[in-house]
Amino acid sequence: MDVSAITVPTLAEEVYDRVRSGITTGTLAPGSRVSIRALAAQLSVSAMPVREALKRLQAEGFVVFERRSISVVSLTAEELQQVFAVRSRLEQLATEWALLRLTPADVQDLRAVLAQMADEHLETGRWRALNRRFHQRFYECAGSPYLLDLLRGVWDKVEPYMTVYASSVEDFGEAHRQHLRMLDLIEARDLPALLTENDGHLEHTRRTVADALSRARRPPT
């Protein structure tokens, strides 16, 4: 059998990619209800590929099927803490490996990403994409597709909450200052200081998101 014969993604795969992207970008917000009929109409497909996509996403932990509804998973404060803890451990390993293989060209690429992020009028969605690109570009230097794949999985769990982060801060000035300090330490190949800075960066993000979610969940007085 020629296992390479099928090159065009199936309809179900395309629907899955679209719905998953909607969740990871925050278009389908954590906790929001998902209607198979509405998604099918939006994507101009039948209900079957949408249902198949949602079943896959349920297995991956992105949606939950309840008795009469389907919802995008919304992490509790404890679960959010755990996801960021896992991300921190993986990024510690990726940082160690990346610094061993870092080149001047890599540093130039990272600096170019931060230059784009310095735009005060940058649209939120674009900032989020560049933010992820900055971190991913550095960890690509580790030269481990396996580690990068694990990181992408954790980032996908965090990414919907970056919408919460972006809407909770007055601007991205503090995040940008943290990124600049990280880049200086990357260029200096100062592993201990970089690990400390990155942990502080992740904790700043987690705390901002957790505080915003706590306020949103607090019953009105």
pLDDT at 3: 44
Q: How confident is the model at residue 1 (pLDDT cuts 50, 70, 90)?
A: very low
Clarify whether residues 31 and 18 are in a common domain.
Answer: yes
* Count of the separate structural domains present in the chain: 2
CA-nearest of 175, 196, 193, 163 to 26 is 163
At residue 25's C-alpha, the angle toward residues 19 and 27, to 5°, is 65
Q: Can you give the CATH number for the domain in which 62 is found?
A: 1.10.10.10
Q: Can you give the CATH number for the domain in which 211 is found?
A: 1.20.120.530
Asked, for residue 210, whether it belongs to a domain, the answer is: yes
Considering the entire predicted model, what is its pTM?
Answer: 0.81
| Whether the Cβ atoms of residue 64 and residue 28 lie closer than 8 Å to each other | no
List, for residues 117-164, the tens digit of each pLDDT value.
Answer: 998 888 888 998 999 999 999 999 999 999 999 999 999 888 888 877
Q: How confident is the model at residue 4 (pLDDT cuts 50, 70, 90)?
A: very low
Clarify whether residues 67 and 93 are in a common domain.
Answer: no
Clarify whether residues 180 and 104 are in a common domain.
Answer: yes
- Given 49, 72, 95, the domain boundary residue is 72
Asked, for residue 2, whether it belongs to a domain, the answer is: no
Asked, for residue 92, whether it belongs to a domain, the answer is: yes
Residue 29's domain comprises 11-72
Asked, for residue 4, whether it belongs to a domain, the answer is: no
Q: Does the pLDDT of residue 170 top 80, yes or no? A: no
